[in-house]
Amino acid sequence: MNRTFTIARKELQGYFNSPVGWLFVIVFLVSCSVLFFFLQSFFAIDRADLRGFFGIMPLLFSILLPALTMRLWAEEKKQGTYEFLMTMPYTETQLVLGKYLATMGVVGFSLLLTLPVPLMVSLFGSLDAGTLVAEYFGMLLLASASSAIGQLISSKTNNQINAFILSVIVLAALNLMGQLGVLFDLPEFFTTLINWLSLNHHVVGFSRGMLDTRDLMYFVILSAAALYATAKSIVFGRWR
C-alpha cells in the first residue's frame, strides 16, 4: 500500500508542479459558481436548495476530468517513461491505484474548495445538512467512476489529445444516455439498461438526500471495473 501512496504522491506533485492541476481546480470552481449564481439565477429563484449547483457538476466533470486523466498513461508513453515505469518495482495494480488516488486527490481538493458556496448560501436560508453530505458523497462517487474511465482511456492511447477527446465523448455519453429513453421510443429492456448505465441516473438519489445501495454499488462496480481493465490493459500490453 505504501508503494501505491508513493505513486499517488508523485502524481499529485506532477499535477500541481504544472498548471494542469491548478487550472482544473480554478476553472471548476469558477464555472460551478458562475453557472449556479448567474445562469441558474439562484437568488432570483429564492430557494435554499443546491440541487442546481450539484446538477452542473456531472457535465463539468465530463469536460474537465479528462484534462486530468489524459496525461496519466498517454504522457508516460509519449515521453518514453512508460517502459522505465514498467521496470520499477511496482505492480500494475499499485501504479493504477496510485494514479487514481492522485486524480481523486485533485477532485477532492476541488470539491473541498466549493464549500464556501453552501456556507455563504446558508446565510440566506436553511440548507439541509444531510442532503448536502449526500450530494458531496454522490459527486465523489461520480468523480471516482469518471476518473477511472478516463484513466482506462488514457492507458489505451498514445496521444494526450486523443485521450482527452475520447474521454470527453465517453463521459458525456454516459452522462446523457439516460435521455435516450426520454427522446426515443425504445423497448423497455433497453430503457432499463440505458438508465442503469447512465451516470446521471445514479446521481439523482444523492441530490435528494438518499443513499441507495444500488447507486452506490453502480459507482463502486464501474470504478472497480475501469481500474481493473486499466491494470489488465497494461499487463496484456506487455505481451505485445
Partner 1 sequence: MKLDYKKREYVITALVVSALVLLAAASSLFYTRLDLTSSREFTLSAVARSLHEEIPETVRITYYISPNLAERHPGAQSIEDFLREFEALGKGSIRVRIANAEKEAEQAESFGIAPQQMQIVEKNEQRVALVYTGLVIEYLDDFFTIPALLSTSTLEYELIKAIRGLIYDSKQVAGLLIGDTGMTAENNFNILLRSLAQAGYEPRLIERSQKIESDVDVLFVLGNSALDRYDAWFVDDYMHRGGRAFFAVRGVSIDLEQGLQAKAVENDGILGLLSAYGVKISRQLVLDETNLTVPFQTSNYRGGYTIQYVRYPHWVSVQKRFVNAEHPITNNFSGLNLFWPSPLDVDKNTSVNFTTLASTTPVAWRQTSGFVTAPPANPQDVASYQLEKPDTGGTYPLAVAASGPITSPYAAGDLPVREGAEPLTAIPDVAADTRFVVVSSADFLTDLMQFSQSEFNAGFAVSAADWLASAEDLIAIRTRSERDLRLNKIADQNVKDATIILTYIVCIGLVPLFLVAWALVRAHARNRKEQQSRPLRGGEA
* Residue ranges binding partner 1 (CB under 8 A): 16-17, 19, 22, 25-26, 29-30, 33-34, 37, 43, 46-49, 113, 116-117, 120-121, 123-126, 128-131, 133-134, 181-186, 188, 191-192, 195-196, 201, 204-205, 208-214, 217-218, 221, 224-225, 228, 232, 235-236, 239
CB 31 within 8 A of CB 25: no
Toward partner 1, which CB reaches closer, 27 or 172?
Answer: 27
3-state SS string over 31-99? HHHHHHHHHCCHHHHCCCCCHHHHHHHHHHHHHHHHHHHHHHHHHHHHHCHHHHHHHCCCCHHHHHHHH
**Rounded least distance, CB 214 to partner 1, Å:** 5
Toward partner 1, which CB reaches closer, 129 or 161?
Answer: 129
Q: Would you state the cell numbers that stand for residue 146, as one nine-digit string?
A: 469518471
Euclidean distance between CA atoms 122 and 238, whole angstroms: 53
* Dihedral sign computed on CA atoms, order 221, 21, 108, 173: negative
Nearest of 194, 204, 188, 174 to residue 65 by alpha carbon: 174
**Rounded least distance, CB 193 to partner 1, Å:** 11
Toward partner 1, which CB reaches closer, 70 or 227?
Answer: 227
**Rounded least distance, CB 129 to partner 1, Å:** 6
CB 142 within 8 A of CB 215: no
**Rounded least distance, CB 69 to partner 1, Å:** 20
Which contiguous run of DSSP H or E holds residue 100? helix 92-112
Toward partner 1, which CB reaches closer, 158 or 195?
Answer: 195
**Rounded least distance, CB 236 to partner 1, Å:** 7
**Rounded least distance, CB 192 to partner 1, Å:** 8
Toward partner 1, which CB reaches closer, 61 or 218?
Answer: 218
Cβ atoms within 10 Å, residue 125: 10
Interhelix angle 51-79/19-34, nearest 10 degrees: 160
Toward partner 1, which CB reaches closer, 91 or 161?
Answer: 91
